[in-house]
Chains A and B, each alone.
Chain A
Amino acid sequence: MKKKLLAALLSAIVVMGSTAGCGQKGTQSGGGSTGASAGGNGKTIKIGLMVPLTGTGVQAGQEVKALAEIFADIINNDHPDLNLPFAKGEGLPNLGGAKVEFVTGDLSSPDIAMSEAERLITQQNVIGLCGNFASASTKTAMVPAEKYHRIVLSEGTSNTLTQAGYQYYGRAFPGDNDFVKDTFDYLDQLNKTKNAGIKTVALVSEDSEFGTYIAGLERTEIPKHGFKQVEDIYYSASATNVTSEVLRLKNANPDVVIMSSYAADALLFMSTYKEMNYFPKMLFGQRGGFMTSDFLKNLGSDSDYVMTTARWNTDINNEASKTVAKLFYDKMGFPLSGDVLNSAWDGVLLAAIANQAGSTDADAMRKVMSEGIKIDKAEDPFALEGYKFDESGQNVYGKAIILQYMNKSLKTIYPQAASTAEAAYPAKGWNER
């Protein structure tokens, strides 16, 4: 009998595990409440929050969920002391004080993203979808979103998303072309202002859409800026070793290594770099794994000198930014990362769009996106000039920054106007630190 009980318990873990990460306090997840209305004339509007529930993205998903819960609490309850959207008063004023509920869907793979998006739309009646989408999962989620007319705000950075002709798609922050352009503009600036002597570049990219698309853009930018490409490495993000990749880099000895990696593979590369006593003059990440909380937590001071493109950093001089960072830190016990913030912030944008439209009808919401969402810059943690989405779905005010890990924290180093620290270049080798 006891054995049967234990076996049943193990089986239960499978079931519970499939929803691992959904169990944090606060907001509902999965197939929770009923009676919510997508029309906004009920008590609650539901927003689909797509996060990975299995695989290597689980941690980021849990962080996005935690932040979404914070935002839902701010919107739903009166927080007169906070300088964030809908903090004063309860609910969304133009929708009769409707409360916001984030409903979780699984984003573990593109095919799961599609079925989960459809489930959230047809069964949970969400007014739109947000979350930590990758470009590939955005494309699959867009299929039911276009079919059932729901807005998807996704920060998948591939330009193919804005070129696809989606009617209900929006991206608040820059695409890969802007991030890549900023990367090479920054290298040019270093050569001009600091006589950095950067001549050779190596590309290291994981082989899914994220990495291959960015690598394609980088490959065309390299000759335009007068650099020489000395390596072009593709690898699988689920690789169990990157020994030969690092041996090739060591042999090519480029001035700059530009990487597009997810979380686990970025860490694997870093440990292999250290173990092989190799670190280029500049190691440059294209967000992804270089912007996850796990990167800094596991590497500590070994993360120093690594640069990355980003959308947000804790050192942005803006009260709303500091407030959100503090609320997150108080809840989770570690710093907020930009990719987590923009994923959950898209949920706030969806609520703001519906509120401004006075309706949760997708066409009315899309009209508001085209006209521009009215969010006070002082209440925007990104301090953007605005949110106005062009026909392709791209926010024309989205902007990128470049960060560098220094003394176990991230500092903004580019553009000049936003920078809080001087870049450290060239990076010191492992033995010189």
Chain B
Amino acid sequence: MFAQVLYEGLTMGTIYALLAMGIALVWGVMNILSFSQGEFMMVAMYITFFINKFMNWDPLMAMPVVIIVMFLLGLLIYNLIIARALRGPILGQRLITFALSLVLVNGVTLLVGGQTKSIPHLLFSGDMNLGFITASKQKLVLIITSLAVTGLLFFFMNWTKIGKAIRATSQDKEAAGLVGINTQVAYMVTFGLCAAIAGAGGCAMTYYYYFMPSIGTNFMIFGFIAVCLGGFGSIGGAFIGGLIMGMIDVFTGTYLSVAFKYLAVSVIFMLIVSFRPKGLFGR
């Protein structure tokens, strides 16, 4: 039982981590709260659904396409909306992604309706009996996707020229500009990356979740708490924060009471913020 709970906690944690990493990235670099991260995931789920419906591609096959489409969508949104908001007052900057989330939820409802969708035939389904745990193959897809996205993001940020430029911009925008870094491009790529991460997450989540236009909203609060736990601006911290959230959620619900699981998450969150206001790995 304990091993099973651990596995389930890890799975939930990776879902929260996928959401949290996008939020942490945008906050760390652009100082913007990405309220629309859950809705980006939802849009990615619908893109995956339609690719599956019309081309019969499994979500895993569709994932590279969805990631690219979401990256481009992120670039478009940045250029049309975010870049302009960044020139305005701080409140507008903070709330612009909130408005964007409403546009996305209502826009998708308008375009495709409110029906719950799912992907009927998956490449990997069923479970594997490993003796001490029964591992769902669908959830394994989520875990592997989350680990892969985290690894790729680390590689990108630490070993590529544009990744280093983004890091430099996040540390000191003016200084980065003075040494020749195009900070606007850094911002734009960051927002695109944030949408692309949601693309990978949304695509993988269709392996497990039924979805409707409002699904992203329910995840957002957990994504933000995971970022706060791990530390704003720290991608690794957001990943760890997500894992902690998942573990607390499942362990409390299973061993204590389902009624206390969100209470436990909130208490741990308050304790960490009290003793480490910038989160576990915040700078």
Contacts and interface: CB of A to CB of B under 8 A. Distances in A.
A2 to B, nearest CB: 10
Nearest to B117: A298
Report the 7 A-B pairs with minimum CB-CB distance, sorted nearest first: A17-B106, A244-B253, A58-B114, A294-B116, A59-B114, A20-B109, A244-B254
A233 B256 CA distance: 12
A297 interface: yes
Contact of A13 (B4, B8, B103, B120): B103
A3 interface: yes
Contacts of A57: 114
A189 B80 CA distance: 65
Interface residues of B, number: 51
Interface of A is mostly: helix
Nearest to B9: A243
Contact of B127 (A10, A17, A275): A275
A207 B258 CA distance: 11
B134 interface: yes
A234 B218 contact: no
B210 A271 contact: yes
A273 to B, nearest CB: 12
Interface in A54-96: 54-59, 61-62
Nearest to B118: A298
A275 to B, nearest CB: 4
A263 interface: yes
Contacts of B4: 247
Given A59-B116, A238-B218, A294-B116, A13 B110 contact: yes
Could you tell me the dominant secondary structure of chain B's interface residues? Answer: helix
A264 interface: yes
14 contacts: A3-B79, A13-B103, A14-B106, A14-B107, A59-B116, A62-B114, A239-B218, A240-B15, A243-B8, A247-B5, A247-B254, A251-B1, A275-B136, A276-B136
A299 B8 CA distance: 23
A18 B109 CA distance: 9
Interface in B204-242: 208-210, 212-215, 217-219, 222
B144 interface: no
Contact of A244 (B103, B117, B252): B252
Nearest to A270: B210
Contacts of B262: 236
Contacts of A14: 99, 102-103, 106-107
B261 interface: yes
Interface in A296-341: 297-298, 300
A298 B116 contact: yes
Contacts of A234: 258-259
Given A17-B110, A20-B106, A61-B114, 20 more contacts: A3-B80, A14-B107, A20-B114, A21-B114, A54-B106, A58-B109, A58-B212, A58-B213, A207-B259, A234-B259, A235-B258, A236-B262, A243-B11, A247-B254, A267-B118, A271-B209, A271-B210, A276-B136, A277-B134, A300-B120
